């Protein structure tokens, strides 16, 4: 196995996917929406750490944007818990801890 394929497989193993239903904000364009799955129909050069997908972000009115993980911030509510659809607090608390362990602190931001 070559060094590049070793580092690629290592990066894929460490990648933590943002769960569907999680509220996110685009870092540069500032629109907000909910993660609505992944797509391998990638637009442009930016991809998730798996090297082959982008997130589908539901931005309302049936519209979706394809975005790489590096351009997303994960939104927190007033209790510092990740906002995930209609999920109950115990699940959101667990996912908050999981995502905090996987993402840099500046990537988790309070909703406006």
69-83 as b/e, with b when 16 or more CB fall inside 10 Å?
A: bebbbbbbeeeebbb
Q: What is the pTM of this model?
A: 0.83
For residues 14 and 73, what is the distance between their CA atoms, to the nearest angstrom? 19
Instruction: Output the pLDDT for position 62.
Output: 84
- pLDDT, averaged in runs of 10, over the chain (112 residues): 47 76 94 95 88 94 92 96 95 96 94 86
Sorted by where each begins, the domain ranges of the chain are 3-110
Instruction: Output the pLDDT for position 14.
Output: 76
Closest CA to 83 of 95, 67, 68: 95
Instruction: Output the pLDDT for position 38.
Output: 96
Instruction: Output the pLDDT for position 47.
Output: 94
Contact 66, 46 (CB under 8 A): no
Instruction: Output the pLDDT for position 8.
Output: 45
Instruction: Output the pLDDT for position 30.
Output: 87
Instruction: Output the pLDDT for position 94.
Output: 96
Instruction: Output the pLDDT for position 6.
Output: 47
């Amino acid at each position: 196995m070559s060094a590049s394929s070793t580092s690629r497989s290592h990066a894929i193993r460490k990648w933590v996917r943002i769960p569907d239903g999680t509220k996110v904000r685009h870092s540069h364009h500032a629109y907000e929406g909910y993660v609505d799955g992944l797509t391998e129909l990638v637009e442009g050069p930016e991809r998730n750490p798996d090297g082959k997908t982008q997130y589908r972000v539901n931005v309302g009115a049936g519209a979706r944007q394809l975005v790489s993980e590096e351009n997303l911030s994960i939104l927190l509510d007033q209790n510092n818990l990740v906002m995930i659809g209609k999920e109950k607090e115990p699940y959101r608390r667990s996912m908050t801890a999981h995502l905090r362990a996987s993402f840099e602190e500046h990537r988790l931001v309070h909703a406006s």
